[in-house]
Structure 1
Amino acid sequence: MNKLEKANQYIQNNKQKVTNRPFFHFSPEIGWINDPNGFCFYQGEYHLFYQYYPYDIVWNDMHWGHATTLDFVHWNHKPVAMANDKVYDANGCFSGSAIEKDGKLFLIYTGHIDPNIGFDRDEPQIIERQCIAISEDGINFKKYENNPVIGEKELPEGYLICDFRDPKVMEVNGVYYCVLSVRNEKRRGEIIMFKSSNLVDWTFYSSIYQSKEEENILLECPDLFRIGNKDVLLFSIMPCDPEFQAEVDNKTAYVIGEMDFEKGIFKTESDGLLDYGHTFYAPQSTEGKNGERLLIGWMHRWHQTTPPKEYGFNGMISLPRKLSIENHRLIQQPAIEIEQYFNPSAIYEKIQLNAGEKIDFKGERTGYLYMSVSSSNTERFTVELNKSETKSTRIEVDVENTMISFESDYSSQDQINITDALNANEDLTLEFFIDRHSIELFINSGEKVISFTAYDQDKGKDISILGQCNAELKQVIYGTFCHENTLS
């Protein structure tokens, strides 16, 4: 039995032991999940591949899991697409992307070699190179016989092969381009670009984005795409070395500008954060079936304790976000059919909350909460989620100081403060998606997003909206998820 067969057999024999999976956020049938990979629309459905270790709820030898969906709520789990079963990927099939060519689906991924994996990092022995696997049906993949396709020969001097990963491939005017994360000789992060006419023969093209030495960061999981007449470059940030862990948070960022493919230059015009929470990382985008740009990410709270082992799984994927650009900012709106999956159980219109007054909802494990708030007639209020007698997750809105704060008794991490969260003379909207282990908050139709995860078994279910000073709520809608029995 080979490694791929072994993984698939293990899943089938043990998946029934898994409990407490989320209801409308994708999670693996069993085991560990991290980065979304190969996110694409192929042969009439969305395909999601992902970093995967089926045998435990902690990171280990990376496989590529696989699932498909039409609506991002109902998922069909497919056989594991790849296992680390070749010399060039012996210690992991690391992250990558997918593209269709001649009706076939090509996966381009990082083959990871580290004979000391699981022990102290020994950089001279670590090699990361880019490899290809091909499928005619989108299910069964064969690794290219001449892998790797981008390695030491193609990587210029001044870059370290030990941190050279996460290929994201695109086609522009009949030419294939691939952006990659790399560590330079100053031990800092860069995003570089390679070029090909056929997906298998690649040459170095240019460095399109460089971090500053004083930032002390690596740039992972780059993604480059166009929205309207602008180009967008995404990347995830992590400390470049352990000594900087206390000063650098794991987070995701974007830059908007112009990619000159003729010269290999990216000109930045504006930038920002994709998510203000601590639990959104390694996002990947694709063109949707109607030409829209969709984005999903890995929901994971760094340095937290793992879920209870009896759950049998660890990790989730965010809701899909539809991307657009407004006023030099990247807008992210939830891309699922809210009316189809959430039954409104309470609707309030034109509610005035004075200090100490509140609205209570007897919650469920899942829910959707929408609020439209008058900025001109509101001073301060608090939303409490996951509320029990002693604990809650609290979102405080301070209109006077244009601040939204997020903190939780289910987290040891610092309070999140967004200081420019409100727009002058405009009403505020808040959309909360509450699942068994997560909250996603979309502010002002996706101008800003906060993601949060917590696997605590004692989380409460109730919800309260509490007036701290005067608060005018134009509309409040609370709905419960109506397809809990359809989780696959």
Structure 2
Amino acid sequence: MNRLQKANDYIQENKHTVQSRPIYHFSPEIGWMNDPNGFVYYKGRYHLFYQYYPYDITWNDMHWGHATTENFIDWEHLPVAMANDKAYDANGCFSGSAIEKDGKLYLMYTGHIDPNMGFDRDEPEIAERQCVAISEDGVRFEKYQLNPVIGEKQLPEGYLICDFRDPKIVEADGVYYCVLSVRNTQRRGEIIMFKSEDLLEWTFHSSIYQSKFEENTLLECPDLFRIDDKDVLLFSEMPCDPEFAGEIQNKTVYVIGQMDFEKGHFLPESKGLLDYGQTFYAPQSTEGKEGERLLIGWMHRWHETAPPKEYGFNGMMSLPRKLDVKDGQLIQQPFIETDTYFSSIIADQHVQLDNGEELKFEGKPTGYMQVKIPTTSGKFEINLNKSGEKSTTVEVDIENNTLSLTSDYGNQGEIKVETLSVITQDEILLEIYLDLHSVELYLNSGEKVISFTAYDTDKGTDVVFGGTGVAPVGTAGQVPRPASFHLVYRD
């Protein structure tokens, strides 16, 4: 039996054993999932491929899982698209992208060779080369007979084949370009670009972005797209070598600027974080049905405690996010029909809480919360998943213009946003999406986003608001003003 058929048979025979999958965040039917791959709108549906190992809840030989959707809530799981069954991808079909050409769907991915499977890294034995698979129907894929299409022959001197991966294809003026992550001989990360007329014959074009030596970072999963009159480059950062693991946090960055495809030159103008949490990595974008730019990312915290083995799965995707550029900043808004999906309004009211006062809801495992906070308000807390003394706590401090998230679940430190808004306004808007194992918080219609995950089995469902009050500046000794907010809560 071939590896592809073996994987699909295993899924069908064992998927009924899986427990506690997220309600509205995408997750695999069974097994391990990481990076989103091949995110594309094709033949009337959104296709999402992903790094996948169906046989266990830990990372191993990477396959490409596959699912489609029309609304990002209801998903159809399709057969595994690719397994590591060729000499050039024997140890994994690593991350890549998808593009339509002449009605066919082309996948470009990294064929990974590592006899030790990453557990005892020996760089001279590791090779990563770029490969292509093609489909007439978007379901069954044939790997190109002349794979790999980008390897040692196309990679210039000064770069290491052991870390050369994650192709993202874009088209500009009838020419195909591919941005790739690579480690240079200084052992630091770069994003380089190749070009092609047919998706099969590729030549090196340029290096479009280089990390600084002192940053000690490796760059992964690049993406490049245009919104209005700006080009946006995304990449995920990780320590370039194990000795920097304590000082470099895995995170995802955007750089807004201008891309000159003909010259192969990217001019950065501004830079920022895609997500302030520690559970958003390797995102990939696509052009949506109406021409909008959509993004989806892997929600996973590095070195996170795995879910209970009896759950039978590990990994989930973020909500899709619609992207816009405003005042040099990337704006991200959830791209699901919130008002339709979360239909039961539990509360819709103006609330004021003095020191020590609480407002409590008997919530459910999933929900949506919208909180509007006047900038004249005091300090307050939102306790999510409250159970006894345990909760995930969001603290908003209007006086100091900060927001922090801490949790008794998931063994994670404080996440802090130092500036709530870059735009002067009369209120702060929080939108919180709560699922079985995650919290996604959007600040001021997507100016900033925080993602959080925890698989603890003892999480509660209550939601508690608490006011702590802050005295107006210059009025020491007077009665603190109350925490004030307008609340909508749905499940």
TM-score, structure 1 normalization = 0.97
Q: Deviation at 1:304?
A: 1.3
Give the match for residue 352 of structure 1: 352
Give the match for residue 109 of structure 1: 109
Give the match for residue 247 of structure 2: 247
Preserved contact between residue 349 and residue 473 of structure 1 (Cα < 8 Å): no
Q: Match of 2:310, SS?
A: helix
Q: Match of 2:343, SS?
A: strand
Counterpart amino acid of residue 391 in structure 2: S
> Do structure 1's residue 364 and structure 2's residue 375 form an aligned pair?
no
Q: Deviation at 1:473?
A: 3.8
Give the match for residue 184 of structure 1: 184
Render the CA deviation track for 1:348-381: whole Å, top value 9, x for unaligned.
Answer: 3332221112221111010001111111x21211
Q: Deviation at 1:474?
A: 4.5
Distance (Å, rounded) in 2 between the aligned partners of 1:350 and 1:388: 25
Preserved contact between residue 410 and residue 456 of structure 2 (Cα < 8 Å): no
Give the match for residue 380 of structure 2: 381
Render the CA deviation track for 1:449-483: whole Å, top value 9, x for unaligned.
Answer: 00000000000111011111044545211111xxx
Give the match for residue 454 of structure 1: 454
Give the match for residue 486 of structure 1: none
Counterpart amino acid of residue 80 in structure 1: V
Distance (Å, rounded) in 1 between the aligned partners of 2:485 and 2:378: 14
> Do structure 1's residue 41 and structure 2's residue 41 form an aligned pair?
yes
> Do structure 1's residue 419 and structure 2's residue 430 form an aligned pair?
no
Runs of 4+ in 1 over 4 A off after TM superposition: none
Give the match for residue 77 of structure 2: 77
Give the match for residue 478 of structure 1: 489
Counterpart amino acid of residue 173 in structure 2: N
Preserved contact between residue 371 and residue 473 of structure 1 (Cα < 8 Å): no
Preserved contact between residue 344 and residue 477 of structure 1 (Cα < 8 Å): no
Give the match for residue 484 of structure 1: none
1:208-287 pair list within 5 angstroms: 208-287=208-287
Give the match for residue 62 of structure 1: 62
Q: What is the alpha-carbon root mean square deviation over aligned residues?
A: 0.9
Distance (Å, rounded) in 2 between the aligned partners of 1:329 and 1:123: 38
Corresponding residue pairs, total: 479
1:426-437 pair list within 5 angstroms: 426-437=426-437
State the percentage of identical aligned residues.
Answer: 67
1:155-174 pair list within 5 angstroms: 155-174=155-174
Q: Deviation at 1:428?
A: 0.3
Render the CA deviation track for 1:366-403: whole Å, top value 9, x for unaligned.
Answer: 0001111111x212111110100020000100111110
Give the match for residue 122 of structure 1: 122
Preserved contact between residue 51 and residue 63 of structure 2 (Cα < 8 Å): yes
Q: Deviation at 1:342?
A: 0.2
Give the match for residue 290 of structure 1: 290
Q: Deviation at 1:132?
A: 0.1
Counterpart amino acid of residue 171 in structure 2: E
Q: 1:129 to 1:471 in 2, by over 3 A?
A: farther
> Do structure 1's residue 399 and structure 2's residue 398 form an aligned pair?
yes
Render the CA deviation track for 1:110-143: whole Å, top value 9, x for unaligned.
Answer: 0000111153100001000000000000000000
Q: Deviation at 1:258?
A: 0.2
Preserved contact between residue 348 and residue 476 of structure 1 (Cα < 8 Å): yes
Render the CA deviation track for 1:211-244: whole Å, top value 9, x for unaligned.
Answer: 0000000000000000000000000000000000
Counterpart amino acid of residue 393 in structure 1: T
Counterpart amino acid of residue 87 in structure 2: V
Q: Deviation at 1:411?
A: 2.8
Q: Deviation at 1:421?
A: 1.4
Render the CA deviation track for 1:64-112: whole Å, top value 9, x for unaligned.
Answer: 0000000000000000000000000000000000000000000000000
Preserved contact between residue 323 and residue 330 of structure 1 (Cα < 8 Å): yes
Distance (Å, rounded) in 1 between the aligned partners of 2:326 and 2:255: 13
Preserved contact between residue 380 and residue 396 of structure 1 (Cα < 8 Å): yes
Q: 1:355 to 1:348 in 2, by over 3 A?
A: farther
Distance (Å, rounded) in 2 between the aligned partners of 1:26 and 1:116: 31
Q: Match of 1:13, SS?
A: helix
Render the CA deviation track for 1:153-192: whole Å, top value 9, x for unaligned.
Answer: 0000000000000000011110000000000000000000
Distance (Å, rounded) in 2 between the aligned partners of 1:228 and 1:399: 34
Distance (Å, rounded) in 2 between the aligned partners of 1:477 and 1:168: 39
Counterpart amino acid of residue 177 in structure 2: Y
Preserved contact between residue 183 and residue 218 of structure 1 (Cα < 8 Å): yes
Render the CA deviation track for 1:6-59: whole Å, top value 9, x for unaligned.
Answer: 000000000000000000000000000000000000000000000000000000
Distance (Å, rounded) in 1 between the aligned partners of 2:349 and 2:310: 43
Give the match for residue 139 of structure 1: 139
Counterpart amino acid of residue 114 in structure 1: D
Give the match for residue 474 of structure 2: none
Distance (Å, rounded) in 2 between the aligned partners of 1:471 and 1:445: 25
Counterpart amino acid of residue 250 in structure 1: N
Preserved contact between residue 61 and residue 91 of structure 2 (Cα < 8 Å): yes
1:321-360 pair list within 5 angstroms: 321-360=321-360
Counterpart amino acid of residue 75 in structure 1: W
Distance (Å, rounded) in 2 between the aligned partners of 1:210 and 1:152: 20
Preserved contact between residue 32 and residue 314 of structure 1 (Cα < 8 Å): yes
Q: Structure 1: any 5+ residue segments left out of the alignment?
A: 481-488
Q: Structure 2: any 5+ residue segments left out of the alignment?
A: 470-480
Q: Match of 1:231, SS?
A: strand
Give the match for residue 300 of structure 2: 300
